[in-house]
């Protein structure tokens, strides 16, 4: 047996042990007896099942403080959907919790027998959410990307999630085969007017539900770290008052789009109508707080999935 076969067999054993422990409710002693292994091996296999992402855990009991914060956010900012997840005081992650909650919401929408158009943005949180989805057969739905998937060096943008989603969800997928930010306003205009792009833009405008991330515009801004804008462009956006971006569109503390600079070259589709559809932002953390506050105040989004700490800060600031 070669190393690849051994690895596959090991994961099979881990999946079986994980199923026996989490689904069948067996103890580790029972798993050891069932699989003919030692208790220590059974324990290691269950741990491997978790670390390899073979086990997905969801807590179905609503937590009172999260529900209260969600209701207050929904009322304060006139939002149509809010979900608040518990905060982990020991974690600095900006995805844990909200990625799982977003995955559950995306899965719920995709399980609808009625055809829908789902638009998706990009970013670390959204990618983490998509990676939580189980394999699904949804030929009745259409999934459309709001943003380009080509990096400045011509490679595929790492945090563009349309292809990750296409691997897991068998629905009709519509990528945006464009650079995230064009080299000039003229190039952007030319690209967006291509016959193969126009139907994708039209489909994005018809989305029933949209999921987007919110990127901050601090020193570690995703647009800058991922190579889409230069340091001088980042500083120019900051000087113009930019605090955050959604699918590349940079806005200030009032939720107003920054004029010129990179916004005149962004090749993303416009955000779908918040009056006729649901646009849900997945965002948490202190660095993103000004951007989240601006987005909900200006109604750039009308849905929010966040954590307790961020929810409380939004209510205190808003």
Segment 256-281, tens digit of pLDDT: 999 989 999 999 999 999 999 999 99
pLDDT over 80 at 154, yes or no: no
Structural domains in the chain plus CATH codes: 1-52 (1.10.10), 64-316 (3.40.50.1360)
Q: 174-183 b/e with 16+ CB inside 10 Å = b?
A: bbbebbbbbe
To the question of pTM greater than 0.85 for the whole model, the response is no
DSSP state of 76: H
Angle separating helix axes 64-76 and 308-317, nearest 10 degrees: 30
Cα distance between residue 119 and residue 141, in whole Å: 11
Query: DSSP secondary structure string, 267-303?
Result: -PPPPPPTTTSEEEEE--SGGGHHHHHHHHHTTS-SE
pLDDT mean over 112-121: 94
Structure tokens at 124: 């670390």
Q: Which residue has the higher pLDDT, 308 or 162?
A: 308
> Which is it for the CA torsion 273, 127, 91, 108, positive or negative?
positive
4 pLDDT tier (thresholds 50, 70, 90): very low
pLDDT mean over 55-80: 84
pLDDT over 70 at 104, yes or no: yes
Q: Where are the alpha helices (DSSP H) in 111-221?
A: 124-130, 162-168, 185-192, 198-205
């Amino acid at each position: 047996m070669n190393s690849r076969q051994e690895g596959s067999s090991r994961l099979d054993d881990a999946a079986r042990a994980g199923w026996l422990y989490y689904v069948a409710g067996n103890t580790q002693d029972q798993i050891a007896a069932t699989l003919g292994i030692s208790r220590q091996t059974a324990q290691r296999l269950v741990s491997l099942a978790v670390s390899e992402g073979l086990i997905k855990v969801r807590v179905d009991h609503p937590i009172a403080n999260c529900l209260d914060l969600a209701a207050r956010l929904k009322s304060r900012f006139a939002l149509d959907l809010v979900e608040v997840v518990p905060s982990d005081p020991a974690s600095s992650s900006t995805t844990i919790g909200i990625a799982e909650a977003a995955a559950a919401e995306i899965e719920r929408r995709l399980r609808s027998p009625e055809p829908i158009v789902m638009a998706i943005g990009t970013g670390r949180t959204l990618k983490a959410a998509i990676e939580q989805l189980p394999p699904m057969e949804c030929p009745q739905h259409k999934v459309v990307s709001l943003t380009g998937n080509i990096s400045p060096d011509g490679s595929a943008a790492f945090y563009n999630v349309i292809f990750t989603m296409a691997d897991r969800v068998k629905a009709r997928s519509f990528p945006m085969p464009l650079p995230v930010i064009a080299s000039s306003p003229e190039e952007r205009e030319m690209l967006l007017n291509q016959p193969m792009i126009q139907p994708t833009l039209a489909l994005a405008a018809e989305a029933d539900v949209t999921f987007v991330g919110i990127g901050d515009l601090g020193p570690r801004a995703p647009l800058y770290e991922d190579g889409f804008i230069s340091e001088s462009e980042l500083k120019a956006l900051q000087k113009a008052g930019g605090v955050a971006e959604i699918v590349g569109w940079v806005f200030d503390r009032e939720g107003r789009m920054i004029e010129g600079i990179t916004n005149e070259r962004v090749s993303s589709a416009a955000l779908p109508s918040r009056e006729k559809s649901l646009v849900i932002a997945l965002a948490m953390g202190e660095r993103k707080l000004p951007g989240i506050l601006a987005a909900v105040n200006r109604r750039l989004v009308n849905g929010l999935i966040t954590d307790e700490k961020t929810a409380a800060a939004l209510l205190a600031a808003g």
